Amino acid sequence: MSRASRITRDSAARAKGKKFLKKNGAPKKRVQKIIAGLVALIVLLGVLMYAVPILKVAQIDVQGTTHADVEAIREASTINVGDNMLRLDMASAAKGVSSVAWVEKVTVKRSWPTTVTVEVTEHNAVGYVMDGDTPHVVDENGQVFLTGVKPEGTLEFKKTKPDDARAIDSASKVLRTLSPELRGKLEGIEAGSADSIRLFFPNQVVYWGSSDRADEKAEATRIVLGRKGNWNVSNPAMPTVK
């Protein structure tokens, strides 16, 4: 093959290759332009939805309340019907709701498309401590969370000073440990200190001492309850009658 023929064949091959690239490159560019256009459209829609309240709050659904005021919770959230769903500050709303009486824990979340759900966990009140004429309500974790009321089903912590955190915590632990059956029979609790707790049942007193080994003492209380005399279960392995 002559040199001129080889040059002619190479030129023809290069021309064919360029033609192929042009033919197949155009669709790729069109696809890229379409994708870029879609991305821009999505971004624009996102900006518009954030700036313009297309998705508005239609309902504020409060769940988990027994004692807490539902309207007070809605107000404390600072979320209003008609607000932009995308611009809500959930952390700020939860912080506001947590200040409402009885609210121990709270979660605020969007329930698309137009509902805000406020999930509340309330304090479990077990007793109260008197400070003069004012009751201070205590939950099962020994936290004073409310004043001025005596919730139904709670017991006064007799002889407990309102500033004695150890005694309050100890008495709360005792009540938290008792079974529903024992709690139902309990008429009173005395906690002059964290280490001198007494439980009052119908015609019977059970001395616990501290709240240490609470589970064992609760079981010992169940065993001796109803037996003649008052009992000391401070050593739950060896209860003694008094």
Architecture, CATH, for domain 125-241: 3-Layer(aba) Sandwich (3.40)
At residue 32, the pLDDT reads 74
CA distance 139 to 146: 9
Query: Which residues are CB-contacts of 223 (< 8 A; sequence separation ≥ 6)?
Result: 239
Which band of pLDDT confidence, cut at 50, 70 and 90, is reported for residue 7?
Answer: very low
CB 220 within 8 A of CB 238: no
At residue 47, the pLDDT reads 52
Architecture, CATH, for domain 59-122: Roll (3.10)
CA distance 104 to 176: 17
CA distance 149 to 117: 29
Q: What confidence tens digit (pLDDT) does each residue in 37-63 have?
A: 676 566 555 555 555 567 899 999 999
Which band of pLDDT confidence, cut at 50, 70 and 90, is reported for residue 9?
Answer: low
Which band of pLDDT confidence, cut at 50, 70 and 90, is reported for residue 21?
Answer: very low
Mean pLDDT of the chain: 88
Which band of pLDDT confidence, cut at 50, 70 and 90, is reported for residue 230?
Answer: very high
CA distance 195 to 172: 13
Query: Which residues are CB-contacts of 233 (< 8 A; sequence separation ≥ 6)?
Result: 206, 207, 208, 217, 220, 221, 224, 239
Domain residue ranges in the chain: 1-52, 59-122, 125-241
Q: What is the pTM of this model?
A: 0.77
- The sign of the CA dihedral 59, 62, 63, 69 is negative
Give the chain's end-to-end CA distance (angstroms, integer). 125
